[in-house]
Amino acid sequence: MNLSALRELYKEPACSHNAKKETPACPRPTPGRAAGGCSFDGAYISLVPIADCAHMVHGPASCVANTWNNRGSLSSGPSLYRTAFTSDLDNNDVVFGGEKKLFKAVKEIIEKYSPPAIFVYQTCVTAMIGDDIDALCRAVSAKTGVPVIPVDSPGFTGTKNFGNRLAGDALLNHVIGTMEPATPHPFNANLIGEFNIAGELWAVLPLFDRLGIRIICSLSGDSRYHQVAMMHRARANMMVCSRALLNVARRMEEKYGIPFFEGSFYGAANTSDAIVKIAELMGEDGLLEKAKTLCDEERKKITPALEELKTRLEGKRVLLYTGGVKSWSIVGALQELGMTVIATGTRKSTEEDKLRIRELMGDDATMISEGSPRKLLEIFNKYGADVLMAGGRNQYTALKARIPFVDVNQERHVPFTGFDGHVRLAKAVADAIENPVFKLTRKPSPFEAL
């Protein structure tokens, strides 16, 4: 990717990191203190859930061989996305160039699997040796008629978050707006940044069906190529619980005049707000009323279960360490259950996110911007928390410290979205706190006592 294009992307105006700075840039990772993936990682994971496509990584083993298929994004149909394609560069390729190998590999995928489209990901090494994947993708597309989309995402360009943006850029440049729905429908919307982890999308889709709102595309959980290509026909975009792909929503607003808002399906109140907001953006009063009634009904339905769980959770203290929208949406969901959130992580949160955190937790809310394991444990003990809710990478930190833990990120197996999801979330927290193992493991071993 040339420098000016990169700079354009760094400048993403909707990104809060750029709000007040003169030279816009996403934060540079600090050597020796960096945690998290690179931009290739970010680009790859945001697009891989497009289930019917082949995802081809042009690079050496590290880029995909170590981590493929380890996220819980589920598909209701095709499973091609779970096959990790790579050109798996060797010494010779690095010296003589990997384009020929890539060309043959992509053609082989088309012959063997006939996918509706192929995404080709550029990585550090192939970018450095000068493989021109743009030209190559154009050539294969022209020859075979199958869309081959270059995703220019070498890891050295930045963080995982920035990689999400690179992925969005590829979709905006090559996919969105290239196909039209067969049948028009009055109410269309997209969910952007919903990855269907543990089936979370499936937990909310039925609600939209009941309102007659057609979700053209969930980007990118359980999505298909044609859905992405038709996204421009939506009347509203909801940015779901994630900063990822923010540029897609913003540029679709610019280009197609589609309004977007940030919302969350975590917690009954948030879910209601999101559904009502989408209905509102559809621009028909009848639909709005219907949406409100539906949400009221659903909330009533889960009240008995939530009340019962409340008796187990009331007064319990949570340390929440997650990113972005989740840093406030889950706070709300937990407070609804009578729990106290003692602190929340804001490493990936925007100023807007932080404002909402203050609204929910008060002005002196403890926000954790740097969550090293040691720091998390310190805070946990200082505030006398009962449970840590965070991503999988902190799971074993918690367990080694004999601390109850709930995974709120991508390695989960239980969907926490929607109304029923709120009950499941509450149950997961209660079960974690009450597990007898913690009491047992905190007792001294008889051998140390002897």
Binding residues vs other proteins (CB under 8 A):
74-77, 179, 181-183, 185, 198-199, 201-203, 205-206, 208-209, 212, 214-216, 222, 226-227, 230, 396, 399-400, 402, 407, 413, 415, 427-428, 431-432, 434-438, 440-441, 445-447, 450
Phi-psi region of 183 (alpha: psi -120 to 50; beta: other; left: phi over 0): beta
Nearer of residues 104 and 413 to other proteins, judged by Cβ: 413
Nearer of residues 79 and 92 to other proteins, judged by Cβ: 79
Question: What H or E segment, with its residue span, contains residue 192?
Answer: strand 188-194
By residue count, the chain amounts to 450
Nearest distance from residue 150's CB to other proteins, in Å? 25
Question: What's the rounded Cα separation, in Å, for the pair 322 and 242?
Answer: 11
Structure-block tokens of residue 424:
């499941």
Nearer of residues 75 and 394 to other proteins, judged by Cβ: 75
Nearer of residues 381 and 441 to other proteins, judged by Cβ: 441
Q: Vertex 267, ends 266 and 271: CA angle to 5°?
A: 75
Nearest distance from residue 279's CB to other proteins, in Å? 15
Nearest distance from residue 3's CB to other proteins, in Å? 38
Question: What's the rounded Cα separation, in Å, for the pair 295 and 263?
Answer: 15
φ/ψ of residue 24, rounded to 5? -70, 140
Nearer of residues 184 and 362 to other proteins, judged by Cβ: 184
Nearest distance from residue 210's CB to other proteins, in Å? 11
Nearest distance from residue 355's CB to other proteins, in Å? 33
Nearer of residues 41 and 222 to other proteins, judged by Cβ: 222
Number of CB atoms found within 10 A of residue 181's CB = 14
Nearest distance from residue 441's CB to other proteins, in Å? 5
Any residues with CB less than 8 A from the CB of 345 and at least 6 apart, and which?
320, 321, 322, 323, 327, 367, 368, 369, 371, 390
Q: What helix, strand, coil percent values describe the chain, rounded to 5?
A: 50, 15, 35
